[in-house]
Copies of this chain bind each other. A is one copy, B any other.
Amino acid sequence: MPRIDSVRVRDVRFPTSLELDGSDAVNVDPDYSAAYVTITTSDGEQGHGLVFTCGRGNEIVAAAMESYGALLLEQDADALLDDLGAASRLLIHDSQLRWLGPEKGVQQMACGGLLNALWDLKARRAGKPLWLLLAEMSPEELVAVVDFTHLRNALTEEEALQILRRAQDGKAERIAELQRDGYPAYTTTPGWLGYSDEKLVRLSQEAVDDGFGMIKLKVAGSLEEDRKRMRLARETVGPDIRIGIDANQRWEVGEAIDWVNALQEFSPYWIEEPTSTDDILGHAEIRRGVAPVKVATGEAVANRIVFKQLLQAGAIDVMQIDSTRVAGVNENVANLLLAAKFGVPVCPHAGGVGLCELVQHFSFLDYAAVSGSMHDRAIEFVDHLHEHFTDPVRVRRGRYQAPGAPGISAEMVPASVAAWEFPHGSGWQEVGGRAAVTGRRTTP
């Protein structure tokens, strides 16, 4: 009987702040990082998961994963993998640890990283990519992995079953379609605040040429700059390509409404994270104030309970799940079910490091076996750091190609881990000399 033998967590960071890739109005100098976990059984099987962070603090998430990992050690691996709903409850509802959230922040991310590694292990055992493993589960099996605690006034087990049973119809055809044609992507590559106008125009044109139907620009630095950049982008891509804009929570509620309306002439498709993602009522007010521009949020939404309310309040047009913010596969299945119940499209957040690799599985699952629709849906794509993964995403002609390798696609290339483990990896030894990147501080 195999047991969970080890839970090994490594602090892997990339010095992206040196290039200003990933710069926006709030995240001015991220070093894209991963608290990277490998769970090994006594039989030598391995599952990999990760939690994305922006650099400093990656060690805190790693410490939390170590602590939560202790709850898994010595557990019967077969029993654990046979009931990952129970595994989720074991971690999330631990009677002492839950005080640290409950169900939010470092705690939720750490649980999510471990759960994703367990799902990776399960999918590898089955020899299937995660999305296909999930899509082929019965409605009853899928409902059993979801924690309905505090959801039931919006979504019951029975309603979830109905959604999933409805999606059994045509599932095999949709799976074949996904394997053949992939799933739409949109790209944020052109739009970082740190880029020059020339680079913005060039990358926007490349995005159109590459077949993307939507690009995204970071905004909320200065309105004048935003108007200039929106104008340049719109002139470059023409009227038919969607342009999302993303404020990364920078604004007050009233400010968001005014700012977005001052960009209406350039027809932004959505405004993403206009204000604090904790501010459900604020998002609802903004949505009323900026229509027809859509409101999107989710990458910083702590858990399914906040998503539930964003949907109940009519606060969002687009739900942006993130693969490593919430409590892993289990909670993201809950999020997909909520979105399906309320008829809101899911356009996952990605980028960072590994987020594209992980989150694609949820959109593939959504089309195959939950919403059954691709209408107004696309997965974010940023073309950074994929070379560090053993099964990197493949985006062709603006579409994610179906992941085919067994697992959740979180496994990192061993040489990358060795080079970029912080602070002693060889890569850090080299850049450490010319820039104390993660030691840099935000001054008040």
Q: How distant is the Cα of A86 from the Cα of B444 in the complex, in angstroms?
A: 5
Taking chain A's interface residues, is the majority helix, strand, or loop, or is none over half, making it mixed?
Answer: loop
CB–CB A104/B53 < 8 A: no
CB–CB A60/B57 < 8 A: no
CB–CB B280/A98 < 8 A: no
Q: Which residues of B contact A60 (CB under 8 A)?
A: 60, 63-64, 67, 100, 106-107
A205 at the B interface (CB under 8 A): no
A261 at the B interface (CB under 8 A): no
A312 at the B interface (CB under 8 A): yes
CB–CB B93/A442 < 8 A: yes
CB–CB B305/A57 < 8 A: no
CB–CB B312/A281 < 8 A: yes
Within 8 A of B (CB), among A72-95: 83, 86-87, 89-90, 93-95
CB–CB A253/B95 < 8 A: no
A55–chain B nearest beta-carbon distance, Å: 4
Within 8 A of B (CB), among A5-41: 26-31
CB–CB B106/A150 < 8 A: no
Q: Which residues of B contact A303 (CB under 8 A)?
A: 278
Say how many copies of this protein the assembly contains: 2
A297 at the B interface (CB under 8 A): no
CB–CB B300/A278 < 8 A: no
CB–CB B282/A95 < 8 A: no
Find A61's partner among B28, B83, B100 (CB 8 Å cutoff): B100
Q: How distant is the Cα of A309 from the Cα of B55 in the complex, in angstroms?
A: 31
Q: How distant is the Cα of A67 from the Cα of B104 in the complex, in angstroms?
A: 19
CB–CB B150/A279 < 8 A: yes
Within 8 A of B (CB), among A141-158: 149-150, 152-153
A71 at the B interface (CB under 8 A): yes
A275 at the B interface (CB under 8 A): yes
Q: Which residues of B contact A363 (CB under 8 A)?
A: none
Q: How distant is the Cα of A279 from the Cα of B308 in the complex, in angstroms?
A: 9
CB–CB B302/A100 < 8 A: no
25 contacts between A and B (CB under 8 A): A27-B95, A28-B95, A30-B95, A31-B96, A53-B96, A57-B99, A57-B100, A60-B107, A64-B106, A83-B444, A100-B105, A102-B277, A104-B104, A104-B278, A104-B302, A149-B276, A150-B249, A152-B254, A153-B282, A153-B285, A278-B302, A278-B303, A280-B281, A280-B309, A281-B313
Chain A contacts to B: CB under 8 angstroms: 26-31, 53-57, 59-61, 63-64, 67, 71, 83, 86-87, 89-90, 93-109, 149-150, 152-153, 249, 252-254, 275-282, 285, 300, 302-303, 305-306, 308-309, 312-313, 438, 441-444
